[in-house]
Amino acid sequence: MNALVSQEAFQALEALKLVSANSACDGLLIGHKRGQSFFIEKIFPTPSAFFAALEKYQKLDQLFEEKIIGFFSFKPNQKKVKKILAPFACGKLFLRLTSRRKKVNIKPFVIDYEKNFFMKPIQLKIL
């Protein structure tokens, strides 16, 4: 499995890091999945963690024509991560973002289940 990030989505993540340098910003990944690859076309920053409630997430997914393929978070904490380790997120992508100096460091994971939900690391490529 791998995650492919469009130049536009990567640029948006870098810009988001610049404007919210001291805050823990989260959001949704919009794109599609083909075979074993996630294609991240754009991002959608969210004001309250990933979403306020599951119903809001479902409405957002409908609004984005069911193209939400995952989640991203700068400085994710255990409480945030636990919220998406759930059945609705199984098979989705999670990007853990950190910033080193002026660059964004991206660690991609796929959310999976085997007796418990967990995050499995996958490869990343910026297009």
The three-state secondary structure class of 52 is coil
What domains sit in the chain, N to C, each tagged with a CATH number?
2-126 (3.40.140.10)
40, 93 contact by CB (below 8 A)? yes
What is the full per-residue pLDDT of the chain (127 aa) written as tens digits? Answer: 899 999 999 999 888 887 775 566 889 999 999 999 999 999 998 876 666 678 888 898 999 999 999 999 887 878 878 888 989 899 999 999 887 666 778 899 999 999 999 999 999 988 7
71, 31 contact by CB (below 8 A)? no
The three-state secondary structure class of 94 is strand
